[in-house]
């Protein structure tokens, strides 16, 4: 049986729903995972300019950080995010005189970065993409306060800004992708900026009302969940009308907790005329990733060959 701390430390968007009994000893029905966050009409970028999250507790991300050793072919860089200086791993093209290459900001799952996250993005590198994997505020001993899906989005945009200025990266073919927690960050970043050519999420959580109920240890939530706006600004579904580029929400066929919210996110976006699709891929939270990654590369390649279609 899953326990919450284990699920948090491995795949933090796994929904560890357990059958419980009420006061009368009767088993409670399993949740339906129907979307709960309220759809908003405002543009997400405008909201982010005004809204400041109020953290009830400040400090590091709630996952123990592994010891990192930079592998061969990887450069550890620092990039500015507001007043913070954050680290990232990036691969440089072997031929520095080569033409500019398409680039992906790849966002890791969980609340700490590990070499396994870098390995996950290998298909992008094999396909000829430059990959930058940022380590966000409060993670791996870095400065900044963990906010759970809000201030971290600013770090993602800062990483994209850094990557776009590298001489080997094509700023007109800049993509964002991520797995699990990183998938949620990728979707929010794709609404918070028009910098990206396209976005892909692998098992990201569209609805943080559900996520905070079933997907995370309550002690790890740093804000007041009784305030609707705090949940809305962290939920891609709430601002699905704000996608600034084409996006794909991939989820495993065994992840029923993501099916309805992912489909609803795509539906709201498409009603607005946006190029957003939710796609089920055979597998679970981890086993679906290779198939999702393959489809996302084909998606990015297709978009690269088209005229820019930013919303």
3-state secondary structure 109-142: CCCCCCHHHHHHCHHHHHCCCEEEEECCCCCCCC
pLDDT of residue 175: 98
Which region, left, alpha or beta, applies to residue 176 given φ > 0 means left and ψ of -120 to 50 means alpha? beta
pLDDT of residue 234: 98
Six token digits for residue 56: 């009830």
The full set of domain ranges for the chain reads 4-304
239 neighbors 42 (Cβ within 8 angstroms)? yes
Q: Which residues have C-beta within 8 Å of that of residue 76, sequence separation ≥ 6?
A: 70, 87, 88, 89
Q: Strands 130-134 and 101-107, how do they pair?
A: parallel
Rounded Cα–Cα distance for residues 21 and 33 (Å): 19
Average pLDDT by consecutive 10-residue portion of the chain (311 residues)? 34 42 60 94 98 97 92 95 98 76 97 97 97 98 98 98 96 98 98 97 98 95 98 98 98 97 98 98 97 98 80 61
Widest pairwise Cα distance in the chain = 72
Distance from the Cα of residue 23 to its chain's centroid: 38
pLDDT of residue 98: 65
- Tens digit of pLDDT for each residue in 10-39? 444 444 443 344 545 566 677 889 999 999
Its CATH architecture, for the domain 4-304, is: 3-Layer(aba) Sandwich (3.40)
285 neighbors 236 (Cβ within 8 angstroms)? no
Measured over the CA atoms of residue 143, residue 146, residue 147 and residue 151, the dihedral's sign is positive
189 neighbors 153 (Cβ within 8 angstroms)? yes
Phi, psi of 110 (to 5 degrees): 70, -165
pLDDT of residue 198: 98
pTM: 0.91
């Amino acid at each position: 049986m899953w326990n919450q701390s284990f699920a948090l430390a491995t795949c933090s968007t796994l929904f560890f729903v357990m059958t419980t009994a009420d006061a009368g000893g009767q088993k409670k029905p399993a949740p339906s995972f129907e979307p709960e966050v309220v759809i908003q009409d405002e543009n997400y970028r405008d909201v982010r300019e005004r809204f400041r999250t109020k953290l009830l507790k400040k400090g590091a991300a709630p996952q123990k950080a592994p010891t990192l050793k930079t592998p061969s072919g990887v450069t550890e860089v620092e990039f500015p995010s507001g007043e913070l200086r954050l680290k990232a791993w990036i691969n440089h093209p072997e031929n520095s005189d080569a033409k500019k290459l398409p680039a992906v900001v790849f966002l890791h799952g969980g609340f700490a970065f590990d070499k396994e996250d870098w390995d996950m993005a290998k298909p992008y590198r094999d396909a000829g993409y430059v990959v930058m994997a940022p380590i966000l505020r409060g993670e791996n001993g870095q400065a900044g306060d963990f906010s759970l899906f809000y201030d971290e989005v600013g770090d993602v945009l800062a990483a994209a800004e850094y990557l776009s200025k590298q001489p080997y990266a094509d700023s007109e073919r800049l993509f964002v992708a991520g797995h699990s927690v990183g998938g949620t960050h990728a979707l929010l970043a794709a609404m918070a900026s028009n910098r990206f050519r396209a976005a892909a999420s692998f098992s990201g959580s569209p609805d943080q009302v559900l996520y905070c109920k079933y997907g995370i240890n309550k002690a790890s939530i740093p804000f007041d969940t009784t305030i609707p706006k705090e949940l809305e600004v962290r939920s891609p579904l709430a601002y699905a009308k704000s996608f600034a580029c084409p996006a794909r929400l991939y989820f495993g066929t065994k992840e029923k907790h993501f099916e309805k919210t992912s489909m609803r996110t795509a539906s709201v976006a498409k009603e607005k005329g946006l190029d957003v699709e939710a796609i089920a891929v055979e597998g679970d939270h981890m086993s679906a990733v290779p198939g999702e990654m393959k489809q996302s590369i084909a998606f990015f390649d297709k978009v690269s060959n088209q005229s820019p279609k930013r919303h």
